[in-house]
């Protein structure tokens, strides 16, 4: 302890300092009634009691000082702890996280918007952590809109790694094969998405809202492009059909099909898709159709009869072929009033670029392999039909 402080409290040698002594030390005049009384009073007090040892007095003062200092430290700790801990606590989670949560990235979302969505979903600890992690990952600029499955309390870097991989998007994948009728496509979409078939049928009735070209005359048949699609959760029936229509229009535009040609091309392509199994046969089938149209011969295609009756059959019966539907090309000359299915790329190309040749007939003679024979004359065609009859006889129950 400071020597001067010790003397001030305890006196020169640890004894209390009385007023008279203190006055003498500061030059006050000795004597006088006040001084004498003070001296006698203090003198009696000193002679009548015992004093604590000087060491104990010093210890008491030290304890008191420490208590005061300790109280101040406690108060400071209470109020400053949040500030100090905030300065050193990480703004990022350390680990891979746990559980599962879906986060939707919207079209046009900025990095800040993505950071906010992740924070609100409990994925990242702070928007700052995400923005810094995204800045460190060059692929973050290519994050695609969609729905992603992440974990709660992930590190920001791991969250970015999930989002930059398009394979992590949650989608409903549907593959629509070539040649299906529109109503069959509705059923296939419904089977995968859970949306009722009626919703697709209702959406299809508003062709303008789906983006159908004028050549379609409001009919989606033929314009639902067969392909593999990945739909985000919540994609409506209307939005799904719109995507398919957009793909058909895109393919037609790429092939240079004008609005004036479009109706003809799509109808022929639908016939080609229904009749030819092999890509190399499709341009020849397209040529047969064009040659018969040019000669004003009825097309006489079983595929149009099947569309009219609403059933799939390898061969049609006389009753089927007598159906009065405008789609029945045994009864009505020329093309049917609309497509009889939804053609794919190969069939559309065949309709745009038919093969050169004089053929007027074709028939598939092996339904297992799809082998098809083409003929110029009826007599030649009838010989080919005999080959089909023989195949059907050898494969009973198939035809």
Mean predicted confidence (pLDDT) in 132-159: 95
Report which secondary-structure segment, H or E, holds 149: strand 146-152
225 and 313 share one domain: no
- Where residue 85 falls (left for φ over 0; alpha for ψ -120 to 50; beta otherwise) is alpha
Categorize the per-residue pLDDT at 89 as very low, low, confident or very high, splitting at 50, 70 and 90.
confident
Domain identity same for 290 and 389: yes
State yes or no: pLDDT of 26 exceeds 60.
Answer: no
Considering the domain architecture, whether residues 177 and 143 belong to the same structural domain is answered as: no
DSSP 219-237: --TT-S--SEEEEPTT--H
Is 349 a domain residue? yes
User: Tokens 């039909």, residue?
Assistant: 385
Residue 124 lies in domain: 98-168
Query: So what's the pLDDT on residue 359?
Result: 98
The confidence score (pLDDT) of residue 15 equals: 45
Q: Tell me: do 159 and 247 sit in the same domain.
A: no
- Domain end residue (candidates: 168, 198, 217): 168
Q: Decide if 360 contacts 295 (C-beta within 8 A).
A: yes
pLDDT tens, position by position, 207-248 = 999 999 999 999 999 999 999 999 999 999 999 999 999 999
Whether residue 278 lies inside any domain: the answer is: yes
Asked if residue 187 belongs to a domain, the reply is yes
- 374: its two tokens: 């083409």
Distance CA 345, CA 361 (A): 24
- Among residues 207, 224, 254, the one where a domain terminates is 254
Q: What is the band of 290 on the pLDDT scale with cuts at 50, 70, 90? A: very high
Nearest to 359 by CA among 294, 313, 309: 294
Return d(Cα 316, Cα 325) in angstroms, integer.
15
Residue 271 is predicted with a pLDDT of: 98
Instruction: Establish if 121 belongs to a structural domain.
Output: yes
CATH number at residue 160: 3.30.1490.480
Are residues 144 and 179 located together in one domain of the fold?
Answer: no
Q: Kindly state whether residue 263 falls inside one of the protein's structural domains.
A: no
Kindly state whether residue 191 falls inside one of the protein's structural domains. yes
How many residues in total does the chain contain?
Answer: 399
Tell me how far apart the terminal alpha carbons of the chain are, to the nearest angstrom: 116
What tens digit of pLDDT does each residue of 62-73 get? 646 555 665 554
- For helices 3-10 and 54-88, what crossing angle results, to 10°? 130
pLDDT of residue 54: 62
164 with 179, same domain: the answer is no
Q: Is residue 75 part of a domain?
A: no
Report the run of H or E that residue 364 belongs to, with start and end.
strand 361-366
- Shared-domain flag, residues 111 and 221: no
Whether residues 122 and 183 share a domain: the answer is no
d(C-alpha 304, C-alpha 321), whole Å: 9
Query: How many domains are contained in the chain?
Result: 3
Same domain assignment for residues 162 and 185? no
Asked whether the predicted pLDDT for residue 91 surpasses 60, the reply is yes
Taking the C-alpha atoms of residue 121 and residue 151, their distance in angstroms, rounded to an integer, is 9
Q: Is residue 298 part of a domain?
A: yes
> Which pLDDT score is estimated for 397?
86
Check whether residue 232 and residue 213 sit in a common domain.
yes
Confidence of residue 17 (pLDDT cuts 50, 70, 90): very low
Contact indicator for 268, 252 with CB cutoff of 8 Å:
no
Residue where a domain terminates, one of 142, 168, 194: 168
Both 163 and 203 in a single domain? no
What is the token pair recorded at 398? 């198939």
Asked if residue 316 and residue 297 are part of one domain, the reply reads yes
CA angle 265–269–274, rounded 5-degree value: 155
Grade residue 53 by pLDDT with cuts at 50, 70 and 90.
Answer: low
Q: Is the pLDDT of residue 61 over 70?
A: no
């Amino acid at each position: 302890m400071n020597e001067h402080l010790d003397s001030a409290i305890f006196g020169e040698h640890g004894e209390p300092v009385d007023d008279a002594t203190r006055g003498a030390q500061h030059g006050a005049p000795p004597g006088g009634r006040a001084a004498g009384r003070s001296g006698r009073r203090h003198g009696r007090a000193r002679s009548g009691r015992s004093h604590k040892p000087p060491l104990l007095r010093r210890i008491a003062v030290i304890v008191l000082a420490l208590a005061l200092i300790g109280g101040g430290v406690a108060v400071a700790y209470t109020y400053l702890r949040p500030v100090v801990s905030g300065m050193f606590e990480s703004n990022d989670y350390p680990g891979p996280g746990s559980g599962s949560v879906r986060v939707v990235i919207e079209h046009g979302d900025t990095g800040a918007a993505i950071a906010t969505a992740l924070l609100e979903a409990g994925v990242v600890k702070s928007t700052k952590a995400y923005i810094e992690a995204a800045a460190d990952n060059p692929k973050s600029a290519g994050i695609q809109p969609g729905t992603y499955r992440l974990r709660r309390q992930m590190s920001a870097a791991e969250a970015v790694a999930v989002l930059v991989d398009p394979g992590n998007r949650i989608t409903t994948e549907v593959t629509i094969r070539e040649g299906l009728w529109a109503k069959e496509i509705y059923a296939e979409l419904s089977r995968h998405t859970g949306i009722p078939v009626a919703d697709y049928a209702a959406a299809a009735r508003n062709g303008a809202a789906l983006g159908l070209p004028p050549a379609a005359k409001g009919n989606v048949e033929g314009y639902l492009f067969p392909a593999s699609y990945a739909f985000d959760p919540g994609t409506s029936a209307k939005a799904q059909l719109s995507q398919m229509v957009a793909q058909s229009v895109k393919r037609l535009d790429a092939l240079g099909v004008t609005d004036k040609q479009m109706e003809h091309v799509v109808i022929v392509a639908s016939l080609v898709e229904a009749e030819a199994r092999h890509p190399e046969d499709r341009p020849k089938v397209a040529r047969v159709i064009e040659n018969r149209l040019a000669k004003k011969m009825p097309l006489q295609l079983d595929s149009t009869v099947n569309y009219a009756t609403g059933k799939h059959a390898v061969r049609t019966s006389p009753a089927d072929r007598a159906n009065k539907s405008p789609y029945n090309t045994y009864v009505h000359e020329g093309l049917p009033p609309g497509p009889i299915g939804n053609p794919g790329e190969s069939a559309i190309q065949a309709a745009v670029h038919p093969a050169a040749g004089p053929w007027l007939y074709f028939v598939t003679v092996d339904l297992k392999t799809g082998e098809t024979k083409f003929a110029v004359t009826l007599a030649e065609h009838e010989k080919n039909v005999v080959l089909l009859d023989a195949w059907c006889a050898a494969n009973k129950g198939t035809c």
